[in-house]
Amino acid sequence: SYISELEKSIFRFTNEMRRKHSLAPLGWDRSLCAVARAHSADMLQRGYFSHVDPEGRTPRDRVQKGFSHPFSLAGENIWSGSGQEPGNLPLLAKIIVENWISSPGHRQNLLNPEYTHVGVGVASQGQELRVTQVLVRSGR
- pLDDT level of residue 83 (50, 70, 90 thresholds): low
Is the whole-model pTM more than 0.75?
Answer: yes
Instruction: Give per-residue pLDDT as tens, 31-57.
Output: 999 999 999 999 999 999 999 999 999
Over the stretch 54-78, which tens digit does the pLDDT of each residue have? Answer: 999 999 999 999 998 899 999 999 9
Cα 4 to its chain centre, rounded Å, is 13
Torsion angle, alpha carbons of 113, 134, 90, 46, to 10 = -150
- Residue 88 has a pLDDT of 82
More confident residue, 83 or 26: 26
Q: In the prediction, which pLDDT does 84 show? A: 64
Asked if residues 119 and 51 have their Cβ atoms less than 8 Å apart, the reply is: no
pLDDT computed for residue 35 by the predictor: 98
pLDDT at 5 over 70: yes
pLDDT per residue as tens digits for the range 112-131: 999 999 999 999 998 899 99
Q: Please, what's the b/e burial string for 32-61 (b: 16 or more CB within 10 A of its CB; e: otherwise)?
A: bbebbbbbbbbbbeeeeeebebeeeeebee
| Domain covering 2-138 assigned CATH 3.40.33.10 in the classification | yes
- Candidates 85, 88, 75, 86; CA nearest to 14 is 75
80: number of Cβ within 10 Å = 13
